[in-house]
Chains A and B, each alone.
Chain A
Amino acid sequence: MSLDIWMRENPLTYVWLGSYAVAFLVFAVEIAMVMHKRKITLQQVRQTIEVEESE
């Protein structure tokens, strides 16, 4: 009930925090995951190549 009153008194804050902040946080997490995946994959590829060359 209190949330109902708060959202009607602060509609822009509700829209910003509830929708846009969450959406951009999701985008930021996705970008971080993609960058981390690339870093890890490059490390794995280098290791694979080292092992193959040593054999």
Chain B
Amino acid sequence: MAINWFKYSAPTMFYPLAGKLIPWFAVSSAILFAAGLYLGFVVAPADATQGEFYRIIYIHVPTSMLSMFLYLVMAGYAALGLIFNTRLSAMMASAIAPTGALFAFIALWTGALWGKPMWGTWWVWDARLTSELILLFLYLGFISLHASIDDPRRADRAAALLAIVGSVNVPIIYFSVKWWNTLHQGSTIKFSGTSMQVTMQHAMFTMLAACWLYAVAVVLSRVRSIILERERHTKWIAELSEVKS
């Protein structure tokens, strides 16, 4: 049976679907976080050169990857909203921005905590670190710009332009360790494979999946509030059971 996915681009259809999916994503995320922490702290061995400090990677790498990926998803939704004038796309972009910003913040914070024992400093104006900081500012700029314009549709369009232009920063972050001489190490996980020890890989990919599912659950929860807020004058919102009760 073919499913018409386009029907879920309508807030009326997406709202109940998101409500059903959130508990699944949230519970799966909690289970994977527990499994990832067990694998990362109990099963995986200490690193030969970095000792126990390397264990920061299990939160640092997933949050860094997701901060970049979520930005691209946000910019994609913003572009869809700008081009096709679809309501849900702009709402999704607005819902992703705070989570992306928090992931960028955690990536920078945990990176600083890793940097201190490894490099002897919390921060350097290295290409990777600086471009990740710019990513955080882009997220904050998107949120601020959107909040500063009263008309939501105009706010969507203005913020979408910023998101699309800012997406050029994502490949800069990714390739910064190749293009410039940086203190930050090169990518251990590449599209071609990885040299990382197997249990370390398991722990990191489990934590990555946990962060992924967490992000989806939180974004879906947030977008449901945005839908309620923006569609509050419509009949279908008035007929929702949670609104009536």
Q: Please judge, given known A-B contacts A26-B102, A30-B218, whether A15 and B55 are in contact too, CB under 8 Å.
A: yes
Q: Are B228 and A19 in contact (CB under 8 A)?
A: no
Q: In the assembled complex, which residues on chain A have CB atoms less than 8 Å from the CB atom of B98?
A: 30
Q: Closest A-chain residue to B238, C-beta based? A: A49
A-B contact count (CB 8 A): 80
Q: Please judge, given known A-B contacts A30-B98, A30-B102, A49-B232, whether A15 and B63 are in contact too, CB under 8 Å.
A: no
B78 at interface by CB-CB < 8 Å: no
User: Which listed residue, A26, A27, A37, A44, touches B232 by the CB 8 Å rule?
Assistant: A44
Docked complex Cα distance between A15 and B40 (Å): 12
User: Which listed residue, A23, A34, A41, A48, touches B59 by the CB 8 Å rule?
Assistant: A23
Instruction: Report the count of interface residues on B (CB-CB < 8 A).
Output: 35
Q: In the assembled complex, which residues on chain B have CB atoms less than 8 Å from the CB atom of A46?
A: 243
Q: Are B218 and A26 in contact (CB under 8 A)?
A: no
CB distance from A55 to the nearest CB of B (A): 12
Q: Please judge, given known A-B contacts A27-B214, A34-B218, whether A45 and B63 are in contact too, CB under 8 Å.
A: no
Q: Please judge, given known A-B contacts A11-B53, A14-B113, A49-B243, whether A19 and B60 are in contact too, CB under 8 Å.
A: yes
User: Which listed residue, A19, A27, A30, touches B110 by the CB 8 Å rule?
Assistant: A19
Q: In the assembled complex, which residues on chain A have CB atoms less than 8 Å from the CB atom of B221?
A: 34-35, 38
Docked complex Cα distance between A46 and B153 (Å): 23
Q: Please judge, given known A-B contacts A20-B59, A26-B106, A46-B243, whether A34 and B233 are in contact too, CB under 8 Å.
A: no
B237 at interface by CB-CB < 8 Å: yes
Q: Please judge, given known A-B contacts A41-B225, A41-B229, whether A23 and B52 are in contact too, CB under 8 Å.
A: no
- Given A23-B59, A30-B99, A45-B228, 9 new contacts (CB under 8 A): A11-B51, A12-B41, A15-B113, A19-B114, A20-B59, A35-B221, A38-B225, A45-B232, A49-B243
B residues contacting A by CB (< 8 A) are 37, 41, 51-53, 55-56, 59-60, 63, 98-99, 102, 105-106, 109-110, 113-114, 116-117, 214, 218, 221-222, 224-225, 228-229, 232-233, 237-238, 242-243
Q: List 8 A-B contacts (CB under 8 A).
A: A8-B117, A14-B53, A19-B59, A23-B63, A30-B218, A34-B221, A37-B225, A45-B237
